[in-house]
A = this chain, B = another copy of it.
Amino acid sequence: MYLKCTSCRILHHCLWDSLSRTLLEGLLEHSLVSTYEPKEFIFHERDEAYGLYVLCQGLVKLIKSAQNNKQMIVALVHPGQLLGVTFALNGGLFPMSAQAVDLSTVLFLHRKHFDDLLQRDPSLSLLLLSYSNEQLGQTLNTLIDLVALNVEQRLAGALLQFAESAANHTNSGLVCRLPLRRAELADYIGTTPETTMRVLGKLKRENVIKIERRMITFLDIQRLRELAHSA
């Protein structure tokens, strides 16, 4: 289900701010848009990287799997961000899979058009380089958190991320929709659903958070920060 996307506004923001107008329009002209249902894969680990993906709407998780049917959510991708960074250039393979969490609209640019753009504006590759480095830095943070922090600290950290990205104030505190299900949350912080539940339960009992369905209320965000950062 491919459509031309000439009216997509998301590209005018975020990463692409520093690009020239001609580049942006070239991107809009040659790229293809498709939508993905929740749990649908955009690409799989070890797929050949035929091009570049940009998320327009929705939420996508990047996951890496191991043999023993364990997996880890390596990153969450928000609208305006790239998927699969630039493995497309190597003609290489994706090191992880991309799977829609919510209904998502994704823009795809084939490698050949991408190469054209790079020819026209060499500064594009520098932008991508800084993006790739950003990704690397994020992954290193995930890595060190995994060895140095316990589950409660990691969970607190993840919840704080959600709070910062999409929370609304109400009279009882910050409120936002949990973007991930319990099992996904577990994969995100590198633990099991059961352990995630137990720690969530502890936070609820201590009146740090409140959860109803997919909505989470941050009753004591200061306490949550203490839990995330201290020993």
List chain A positions with a Cβ less than 8 A from chain B: 64-68, 70-72, 74, 85-87, 89-90, 92, 95-96, 118, 122, 125-126, 128-130, 132-133, 135-137, 139-149, 190, 229, 231
Q: How far is the CB of A156 from chain B (nearest CB, A)?
A: 14
Q: How far is the CB of A222 from chain B (nearest CB, A)?
A: 18
Q: How far is the CB of A193 from chain B (nearest CB, A)?
A: 14
Structural contact, A133 and B231, CB atoms closer than 8 A: no
Given A95-B137, A135-B136, A72-B143 contact (CB < 8 Å)? yes
Given A118-B126, A129-B132, A68-B148 contact (CB < 8 Å)? yes
Q: Of B67, B85, B122, B133, which is within 8 A of A86 by CB?
A: B133
Show 23 residue pairs from A and B whose CB-CB distance is below 8 angstroms, ordered by the A residue.
A64-B140, A66-B144, A67-B148, A72-B144, A72-B147, A74-B140, A85-B133, A86-B133, A87-B133, A89-B126, A89-B129, A89-B133, A95-B140, A95-B141, A118-B126, A129-B129, A132-B132, A132-B133, A139-B143, A142-B143, A143-B143, A146-B146, A147-B190
Q: How far is the CB of A85 from chain B (nearest CB, A)?
A: 6
Q: How many copies does the complex hold?
A: 2
Q: Of B72, B90, B139, which is within 8 A of A139 by CB?
A: B139
Which residues of chain B come closer than 8 Å to A140, judged between CB atoms?
Answer: 64, 74, 95-96, 139
Structural contact, B135 and A129, CB atoms closer than 8 A: no
Q: How far is the CB of A192 from chain B (nearest CB, A)?
A: 10
Q: How far is the CB of A130 from chain B (nearest CB, A)?
A: 5
Structural contact, B136 and A95, CB atoms closer than 8 A: yes
Closest to A189 in B: B147
Q: Of B133, B141, B190, which is within 8 A of A92 by CB?
A: B133
Which residues of chain B come closer than 8 Å to A67, judged between CB atoms?
Answer: 148, 229, 231
Structural contact, B148 and A70, CB atoms closer than 8 A: yes
Give the CA-CA distance A65 to B144 in the complex, in Å: 7
Which residues of chain B come closer than 8 Å to A130, judged between CB atoms?
Answer: 89-90, 92
Structural contact, B132 and A68, CB atoms closer than 8 A: no
